[in-house]
Structure 1
Amino acid sequence: MSSREPTLADVAQLAGVSPTTVSRVLNNRGYLSEKTKRSVADAIKTLGYRPNSLARALHGKSTQTVGLIVPAVSLPFFGELAVEVENALAEAGYRILICNSMGRAEREREYLSLLVGNRVDGIISGAHNEGLSEYDTIRMPLVTIDRELSPSIPNVRCANRDAGALATRALLDAGCRHPLLLTSRSGPRNLREAGYCAEIERAGLEPRIVTIPFDTPTPQRFALVQSSLDQACARSPIDAVFATDDLAAAEVLEWAHTRDLSVPGDLSIIGFDGTETMRRALPHLATIRQPISQIAQAAVDILLEQMEGTLPRPIDEAGESPAPTLEFPGTLIPGRSISA
């Protein structure tokens, strides 16, 4: 057996026709006898020939492929998001190329170049790196999930500000008066933080925020969480933590255990995401559930409309035309990690 992939020329030779005829069969172009079609089909099956999607793209044809960029599918939220996006695309007849940026801007740049170079039909980006100018030069269909890249790029997300406020109110309603926010990046783009701060200030309290960068290597991350929370406690008491993802909430639970703090007696904890994986692992954790299926389906629907030309990307000469930001509400999932 040959160690190389069969080519269009191999199919033509076995079928006893010209390469042009094979191409016409594959693209259903022009008149072809049933005998010729059967001969080519039999040769393709015998050889296990797979059409070159890049070659199709170079001839202006769809590759029926979409690229998805996420930080890492090993993270429960992005793993479930990738599955939902893949299922929605498959329903529409598209395949998916999943790219894990691992929180690194340079790696995301490389994947962008790879996807554009291989002429995918569109890109959905859910990575969290900021300041990548490469997106400004992409003119193919593009949608982001929970990421504001440009006013001209549609963004689909959970209603993060409202959901952050919902999580914070759950702690305040439980009687907590010293709630701390644990997040990966503080700033004006962190809408969960904005919701937290709004509720804290409405209650006449002072916001307290601890940040653990998203790209912190796993071996060092828990030690950094521990030391950061220890330092926060040393400055003033903490009776609750709102962690902006469930994995961070799990680390807070572990920190509380190592410090002999009872949950929820000494410390109330609420997370964010509410994935099936984390619900099975920590069924007692209160959290905000993101509507992952709705977010994925909406992102795919917008991308399909762009690819079909029914919803062109709204880019004007200045590149600043507004694009839709579609938000879906989060849902509070009560749990025993908050005092009743």
Structure 2
Amino acid sequence: MSSREPTLADVAQLAGVSPTTVSRVLNNRGYLSEKTKRGVADAIATLGYRPNSLARALHGKSTQTVGLIVPAVSLPFFGELAVEVENALAEAGYRILICNSMGRAEREREYLSLLVGNRVDGIISGAHNEGLNEYDTIRMPLVTIDRELSPSIPNVRCANRDAGAMATRALIEAGRRHPLLLTSRSGPRNLREAGYRAEVARAGLEPRIVTVPFDTPIPQRFALVQGSLDEARAQAPIDGVFATDDLAAAEVLEWARSRSLSVPGDLSVIGFDGTETMRRALPHLATIRQPIAQIARAAVDILLGQMRGTLPRPIDEAGDNSSPTLEFAGTLVQGRSLSL
């Protein structure tokens, strides 16, 4: 048995037809008898032949493949997002290549180069690294999820500002007068923080923000969360925490347990994401549920529109091509971590 991958020529030889005929069968081009189609299909099955997607791309044909860049599918939100994106693409006849950036800009650059080099039909980017100029040169269909790269690139996300205000308001309505925000990065791009700030200002309270970078290695992360919360609590009282993702909220709950703080007696906690994984693990955690399926399918619909030519691509040299951000509302999920 040969150790090399079978080629199109091998298929043609076994089927007793020309390589051109095999190519026509694979691309469903022109009239072909059922006998010929069956013969080629049988030869493909016998040899285990796999069409070369890169070769198809070099001939200007679709590879039927889309790249998805996320921080890590091990994170519940991005794992469930990847599943929903994959399902939506599969329904349209596309496969998916999932790239985990692990929160590192250089790794995202490498994956972006890989996807472009292999001529995928489009890219969906949900990674959180900033300052990657490589996206400015991409001419292929491109959509982002919860990431602002450029006014010309469609961005699909939860209505983060409103959802952040909703989470903060829930803490205040639970009687909390010293609510703290635990997030990965503070600044004007953090819309959940903007919602938190607006709501504490409306209630006449002082904003307090603790940051733990997203790419903090797991072995060091919990110690950093503990230390940051200890320091904040030493400076002023804390009676509520809004964590901008559910994993961070879980760390807050563990910190409270280790410091003999009762939840929700001494401390109310609310998270963000509301994935099925975290709902099963922490059913008592109050959170803001993101509409993951809606976000994923909307991103895929926009990308398919770009690929089919019914929607403009991100960079259109003919003129301005600004794309509005598409937002979906979050939902408050009550839990015992918020109030009894």
**Under TM normalisation by the shorter chain, which class is it?**
over 0.9
Residue matched to 1:201: 201
SS of aligned partner of 1:153:
coil
Shift of 1:60: 0.8
Secondary structure of 2:44's counterpart equals helix
Q: Which residue of 2 aligns with 1:304?
A: 304
Pair 1:260-2:260 in alignment: yes
Counterpart amino acid of residue 127 in structure 1? A
Over the matched positions of the two proteins, sequence identity in percent amounts to 90
Show CA shifts across 1:201-248 (max 9, x none).
111111000000000000000000000000001111100100000000
The aligned amino acid for 2:138 is I
2:127 is the alignment partner of 1:115: no
In structure 2, how many angstroms separate the alpha carbons of the residues matched to 1:318 and 1:61?
A: 24
State the TM-score, normalized to the length of structure 1: 0.97
Does the Cα contact within 8 Å between 2:141 and 2:314 map onto a contact in 1? no
Query: Aligned equivalents of 2:123 and 2:43: distance in 1?
Result: 34
Pairs aligned (count): 340
Alignment of 1:157-236 (within 5 A): 157-236=157-236
Shift of residue 33, structure 1, vs aligned partner? 4.1
**Is residue 139–residue 315 contact of structure 2 (8 Å, CA) maintained in 1?**
no
Distance 1:45 1:54 in 2: 21
Query: Residue by residue, what CA displacement relative to the aligned partner does 1:112-160 show, whole Å, maximum 9, x if unpaired?
Result: 1111111111100000000100000001100000000000000000000
Aligned to 2:52: 52
Q: Contact 2:157–2:326 (CA<8 Å) still a contact in 1? A: yes
The question of whether the paired residues in 2 share the 8 Å contact of 1:151 and 1:320 is answered with: no
Name the counterpart of 2:277: 277
Equivalent pair of 1:158/1:291 in contact (CA under 8 Å):
yes
Amino acid at match of 1:12: A
Superimposed CA distance per residue, residues 39-95 of structure 1 (whole angstroms, 9 cap, x where no aligned partner): 222211111111111111111111111110000000000000000001111111111
With over 3 angstroms needed to count, the CA separation of the structure-2 counterparts of 1:238 and 1:318, relative to structure 1, is farther
Q: TM-score normalized by structure 2? A: 0.97
CA separation in 2, counterparts of 1:95 and 1:282? 33
Instruction: Check the 8 A contact 1:152/1:319 in 2, yes or no.
Output: no
Query: In structure 1, what residue type is equivalent to 2:40?
Result: V
Gaps of 5+ in 1: none
After superposition, the Cα gap between the structure-2 partners of 1:319 and 1:178, relative to the gap in structure 1 and judged at 3 Å, is farther
Q: Identify the range of structure 1 (298-307 vs 25-34) with the bigger mean alpha-carbon deviation.
A: 25-34
Q: Kindly state the Cα deviation for residue 162 of structure 1 after the two structures are TM-superposed.
A: 0.2
* Residues in 2 aligned to 1:73 and 1:176: alpha-carbon distance in whole angstroms: 34
Q: Measure, in 1, the Cα distance between the counterparts of 2:248 and 2:320.
A: 36
Q: Which runs of 5+ in 2 are unaligned?
A: none
- Give the aligned partner of residue 333 of structure 1: 333
Name the CA distance, whole Å, in 2 between partners of 1:321 and 1:31.
Answer: 41
Query: CA separation in 2, counterparts of 1:256 and 1:198?
Result: 26
Q: Which residue identity does 2:59 align to in structure 1?
A: H
